[in-house]
Homo-oligomer: A and B are copies of this chain.
Amino acid sequence: MRRENTRIFEKETTGSFMNKEFIAINALLTVEQAILYLRENVRDKRNIYYVYIINEHDRLIGALSIRELLSKDSNRLVSEVKVSKIIFFKTDIDQEEAVKVFRDTDLVSIPVVNENGKLIGVVHVEDILDVMQQEATEDFHRMAPVSQKLDGGLIESTIGALYRKRIVWLIILVFINVFSGAGIAHFQDVIEANIALVFFLPLLVDSGGNAGSQSSTLVIRAMATGDIHLKDWFRMFTKEVVLSMAMGFTMALAVSAVGLMRGGVTIAIVVSITMVCIVVVGSLVGMSLPFIFRRLKLDPATASAPLITSICDITGVLIYFGIANKLLNL
**Chain A contact residues, CB within 8 Å of chain B:** 35, 38-39, 42-43, 45-49, 66-67, 70-71, 102-103, 106, 108, 124-126, 128-130, 132-133, 136-137, 139-141, 143-146, 153-155, 159, 162-163, 166-167, 169-171, 173-175, 177-178, 180-182, 184-185, 188, 191-192, 195-196, 198-203, 205-207, 210-211, 213-214, 217-222, 225, 227-228, 232, 235-236, 239, 242-243, 246-247, 250-251, 254-255, 258, 262, 279, 305-306, 309-310, 313, 317
A227-B155 CB under 8 A given contacts A163-B243, A206-B173: yes
Nearest Cβ distance between residue A124 and chain B, in whole angstroms? 8
Main secondary structure of the interface of A (DSSP, over half): helix
Closest to A162 in B: B243
Residues of B within 8 A of A201 (CB): 184, 198, 201-202
Nearest Cβ distance between residue A123 and chain B, in whole angstroms? 13
Please pick, from B108, B128, B171, B232, the residue contacting A251 in the complex, using a CB distance under 8 A: B171
Closest to A258 in B: B178
Using A153-B228, A154-B236, A198-B198 as known contacts, list a sample of 7 further A-B pairs with CB atoms less than 8 Å apart, ordered by residue number in A. Answer: A49-B49, A139-B140, A153-B222, A154-B227, A155-B228, A171-B250, A177-B203
